[in-house]
Structure 1
Amino acid sequence: MILSREYVGYLARQTVKHLIDAKMIETSKPQVLNERVGAAMVEEMALEDRINEEVRVILEAYQDEMHRTGAAYAEMFKKVKTELARKYKAVL
Protein backbone atom coordinates (compact mmCIF):
# COMPACT_ATOMS: atom_id res chain seq x y z
CA MET A 1 0.00 0.00 0.00
CA ILE A 2 1.31 3.40 -0.92
CA LEU A 3 0.12 5.09 2.28
CA SER A 4 0.83 3.92 5.81
CA ARG A 5 -2.02 2.52 7.90
CA GLU A 6 -1.52 5.36 10.38
CA TYR A 7 -1.99 7.97 7.67
CA VAL A 8 -5.07 6.18 6.35
CA GLY A 9 -6.45 6.20 9.90
CA TYR A 10 -5.78 9.93 10.08
CA LEU A 11 -7.57 10.44 6.75
CA ALA A 12 -10.53 8.42 8.01
CA ARG A 13 -10.77 10.48 11.20
CA GLN A 14 -10.57 13.74 9.24
CA THR A 15 -13.21 12.52 6.78
CA VAL A 16 -15.60 11.55 9.56
CA LYS A 17 -14.96 14.85 11.38
CA HIS A 18 -15.64 16.82 8.20
CA LEU A 19 -18.86 14.91 7.48
CA ILE A 20 -20.11 15.41 11.05
CA ASP A 21 -19.16 19.11 11.07
CA ALA A 22 -20.95 19.59 7.74
CA LYS A 23 -23.98 17.85 9.23
CA MET A 24 -23.92 15.33 6.41
CA ILE A 25 -23.98 12.44 8.88
CA GLU A 26 -24.94 11.92 12.51
CA THR A 27 -23.43 9.41 14.90
CA SER A 28 -23.45 8.80 18.60
CA LYS A 29 -20.26 6.74 18.32
CA PRO A 30 -17.70 8.61 16.21
CA GLN A 31 -14.86 6.29 17.31
CA VAL A 32 -16.66 3.25 15.88
CA LEU A 33 -17.37 5.17 12.68
CA ASN A 34 -13.70 6.21 12.45
CA GLU A 35 -12.65 2.57 12.70
CA ARG A 36 -15.14 1.40 10.08
CA VAL A 37 -14.25 4.15 7.63
CA GLY A 38 -10.55 3.47 8.22
CA ALA A 39 -11.01 -0.26 7.60
CA ALA A 40 -12.91 0.43 4.39
CA MET A 41 -10.23 2.83 3.19
CA VAL A 42 -7.43 0.34 3.96
CA GLU A 43 -9.31 -2.40 2.12
CA GLU A 44 -9.88 -0.20 -0.90
CA MET A 45 -6.27 0.94 -1.03
CA ALA A 46 -5.01 -2.61 -0.64
CA LEU A 47 -6.97 -3.57 -3.75
CA GLU A 48 -4.20 -2.12 -5.94
CA ASP A 49 -1.64 -4.28 -4.15
CA ARG A 50 -3.76 -7.39 -4.78
CA ILE A 51 -4.18 -6.44 -8.44
CA ASN A 52 -0.42 -5.90 -8.80
CA GLU A 53 0.26 -9.34 -7.34
CA GLU A 54 -2.24 -10.95 -9.68
CA VAL A 55 -0.59 -9.20 -12.65
CA ARG A 56 2.80 -10.56 -11.59
CA VAL A 57 1.40 -14.09 -11.42
CA ILE A 58 -0.19 -13.77 -14.86
CA LEU A 59 2.94 -12.34 -16.45
CA GLU A 60 5.08 -15.03 -14.84
CA ALA A 61 2.94 -17.65 -16.59
CA TYR A 62 3.56 -15.93 -19.95
CA GLN A 63 7.21 -15.12 -19.29
CA ASP A 64 8.63 -17.41 -22.00
CA GLU A 65 6.17 -16.21 -24.63
CA MET A 66 6.90 -12.59 -23.77
CA HIS A 67 10.62 -13.24 -24.09
CA ARG A 68 10.16 -14.89 -27.51
CA THR A 69 8.01 -12.08 -28.87
CA GLY A 70 10.12 -9.31 -27.32
CA ALA A 71 7.24 -7.82 -25.34
CA ALA A 72 8.29 -5.26 -22.75
CA TYR A 73 7.45 -6.33 -19.18
CA ALA A 74 6.49 -2.81 -18.09
CA GLU A 75 4.15 -2.34 -21.04
CA MET A 76 2.50 -5.73 -20.51
CA PHE A 77 2.22 -5.05 -16.77
CA LYS A 78 0.35 -1.82 -17.49
CA LYS A 79 -2.00 -3.48 -20.00
CA VAL A 80 -2.83 -6.43 -17.77
CA LYS A 81 -3.28 -4.17 -14.75
CA THR A 82 -5.68 -1.97 -16.70
CA GLU A 83 -7.73 -5.02 -17.70
CA LEU A 84 -7.84 -6.36 -14.15
CA ALA A 85 -8.83 -2.95 -12.80
CA ARG A 86 -11.68 -2.89 -15.33
CA LYS A 87 -12.66 -6.45 -14.32
CA TYR A 88 -12.76 -5.54 -10.62
CA LYS A 89 -14.31 -2.13 -11.36
CA ALA A 90 -11.47 -0.45 -9.52
CA VAL A 91 -10.31 3.10 -10.00
CA LEU A 92 -6.54 3.24 -9.74
Structure 2
Amino acid sequence: MVDAKMIHTENLKKVEDRVTQGLIEELSLEDRINEEVRVILDAYQDDMRRSGASYMEMFKKVKIELARKYKAVL
Protein backbone atom coordinates (compact mmCIF):
# COMPACT_ATOMS: atom_id res chain seq x y z
CA MET A 1 0.00 0.00 0.00
CA VAL A 2 2.93 2.28 0.64
CA ASP A 3 4.41 1.44 -2.77
CA ALA A 4 1.07 2.14 -4.42
CA LYS A 5 0.98 5.48 -2.52
CA MET A 6 -2.31 4.53 -0.90
CA ILE A 7 -0.90 5.37 2.53
CA HIS A 8 2.01 7.37 3.87
CA THR A 9 3.85 6.48 7.05
CA GLU A 10 7.01 7.46 8.82
CA ASN A 11 7.22 4.10 10.58
CA LEU A 12 6.61 1.24 8.13
CA LYS A 13 7.55 -1.46 10.66
CA LYS A 14 4.91 -0.25 13.12
CA VAL A 15 2.23 -0.24 10.41
CA GLU A 16 3.23 -3.73 9.27
CA ASP A 17 3.08 -5.01 12.84
CA ARG A 18 -0.37 -3.52 13.45
CA VAL A 19 -1.77 -4.88 10.19
CA THR A 20 -0.32 -8.32 10.94
CA GLN A 21 -1.83 -8.29 14.44
CA GLY A 22 -5.21 -7.27 13.04
CA LEU A 23 -5.14 -10.10 10.53
CA ILE A 24 -4.19 -12.65 13.20
CA GLU A 25 -7.05 -11.47 15.43
CA GLU A 26 -9.51 -11.68 12.55
CA LEU A 27 -8.38 -15.15 11.55
CA SER A 28 -8.57 -16.44 15.12
CA LEU A 29 -12.13 -15.14 15.48
CA GLU A 30 -13.53 -18.16 13.63
CA ASP A 31 -11.67 -20.49 15.98
CA ARG A 32 -13.14 -18.71 18.99
CA ILE A 33 -16.63 -18.86 17.49
CA ASN A 34 -16.24 -22.58 16.76
CA GLU A 35 -15.23 -23.21 20.36
CA GLU A 36 -18.21 -21.25 21.67
CA VAL A 37 -20.53 -23.26 19.39
CA ARG A 38 -19.10 -26.50 20.81
CA VAL A 39 -19.72 -25.32 24.37
CA ILE A 40 -23.30 -24.35 23.55
CA LEU A 41 -24.03 -27.63 21.77
CA ASP A 42 -22.47 -29.66 24.58
CA ALA A 43 -24.97 -28.09 26.96
CA TYR A 44 -27.85 -29.18 24.71
CA GLN A 45 -26.56 -32.54 23.49
CA ASP A 46 -29.13 -34.59 25.46
CA ASP A 47 -32.00 -32.53 24.07
CA MET A 48 -30.55 -32.83 20.57
CA ARG A 49 -30.30 -36.61 20.89
CA ARG A 50 -33.89 -36.90 22.09
CA SER A 51 -35.18 -34.73 19.25
CA GLY A 52 -32.98 -36.32 16.59
CA ALA A 53 -31.28 -33.04 15.67
CA SER A 54 -28.17 -33.33 13.56
CA TYR A 55 -25.03 -32.07 15.33
CA MET A 56 -23.60 -30.71 12.07
CA GLU A 57 -26.79 -28.85 11.14
CA MET A 58 -27.08 -27.38 14.61
CA PHE A 59 -23.38 -26.46 14.55
CA LYS A 60 -23.89 -24.50 11.32
CA LYS A 61 -27.00 -22.74 12.62
CA VAL A 62 -25.44 -21.73 15.93
CA LYS A 63 -22.25 -20.62 14.19
CA ILE A 64 -24.21 -18.40 11.82
CA GLU A 65 -26.02 -16.82 14.77
CA LEU A 66 -22.79 -16.21 16.69
CA ALA A 67 -21.13 -14.75 13.59
CA ARG A 68 -24.08 -12.40 13.27
CA LYS A 69 -23.83 -11.52 16.98
CA TYR A 70 -20.11 -10.71 16.69
CA LYS A 71 -20.56 -9.05 13.27
CA ALA A 72 -18.03 -11.46 11.84
CA VAL A 73 -17.66 -12.35 8.19
CA LEU A 74 -16.76 -16.01 7.89
Note whether the superposition's TM-score is higher than 0.5: yes
Which residue of structure 2 lines up, in the alignment, with residue 27 of structure 1?
A: 9
Structure 1: stretches of 5+ with no match in the other structure: 1-18
The one-character-per-residue Cα deviations of 1:22-42 (angstroms, maximum 9, x if unpaired) are 111001111111111000100
Question: Which structure's residues are more often helix, by fraction?
Answer: 1
Q: Does 1:45 align with 2:23?
A: no
Aligned partner letter, 1:87: K
Q: Which amino acid aligns with 2:58?
A: M
> What TM-score, normalized to structure 1?
0.79
Structure 2's unaligned 5+ residue stretches are none
Q: Which moved more, 1:23-32 or 1:51-60?
A: 23-32
Q: CA RMSD in A?
A: 0.5
Matched residues, percent identical? 66
Query: Which runs of at least 4 in structure 1 moved beyond 3 Å after TM superposition?
Result: none
